[in-house]
Amino acid sequence: MSEHTASWYNLVDARPETEIPAESPLAWSYHHSGRPAVSEKSRVVLRERAMAGHLILRGGAIVLDEAVRGVLGVGLPGRPNTLTLDESGERSIQWLSPDEWLVIVPGGEEFALEKRLREALGDARNANVNNHAIVNASGGQTLIELTGDKARELLMKSTPYDVHPEAFPVGKGVTTVFAKANLILRRPTEARWELVLRRSFADYLYRWILDAGAEYAIGVEE
């Protein structure tokens, strides 16, 4: 095998044997746009949950729910546009469509989780009722948390979606427009909002949030 071919295999290998340095989708942004320090004046605080594991599940709800409960101990959300969290709050499952869900876990867990889910689901080719797909989207997405008493005001400047507490209660998550880009907007707790965004939009949205949050002395956690 030539050196060129070996390098190509390393590029396309989803789980290479050799260690490959990984960077947050916002690494370039931090270097070029800076990271405003969190201060007593900060009424919005941004925190990136960098390098988390993102898995997209597709298939029948009944079969997937049984597998997910057995592996994570948390079932699929029962209603559209909702999400469920485990007891620690570090792992979540969000409804994306009638046959699609997003699972987010701490970084490093995604490969083992995918393996366990596939084992629990069995071989889809041998069961007509068990058609499913598991896609590891970890490298293509990142998650930003927004907290602070002005976080909702920042969102109101950025998205046409109604983020009033009555329209957007805790446990809701939707795909929507944010600053002319598409992302997933979630509210896992009373005080925290989350943005799940694509790597290709990361720098643009980071700059937008810094600009929109300037009047609130936005700070970025290390």
3-state secondary structure the chain: CCHHHHHHHHHHCCCCCCCCCCCCCCHHHHHHHCCCCCCCCCCCEEEECCCCEEEEEEECHHHHHHHHHHHHCCCCCCCCCEEEECCCCCCEEEEEECCEEEEEECCCCHHHHHHHHHHHHCCHHHCHHHCEEEEECHHHEEEEEEECCCHHHHHHHHCCCCCCCCCCCCCEEEEEEECCEEEEEEEEECCEEEEEEEHHHHHHHHHHHHHHCHHHCCEECC
Could you tell me the fold of the domain covering 23-220? Answer: Gyrase A; domain 2 (3.30.1360)
| pLDDT tens for each residue of 69-95 | 999 999 999 899 999 999 898 999 999
| pLDDT tens for each residue of 94-119 | 999 999 999 999 999 999 999 999 99
pLDDT over 50 at 198, yes or no: yes
Q: What is the pTM of this model?
A: 0.86
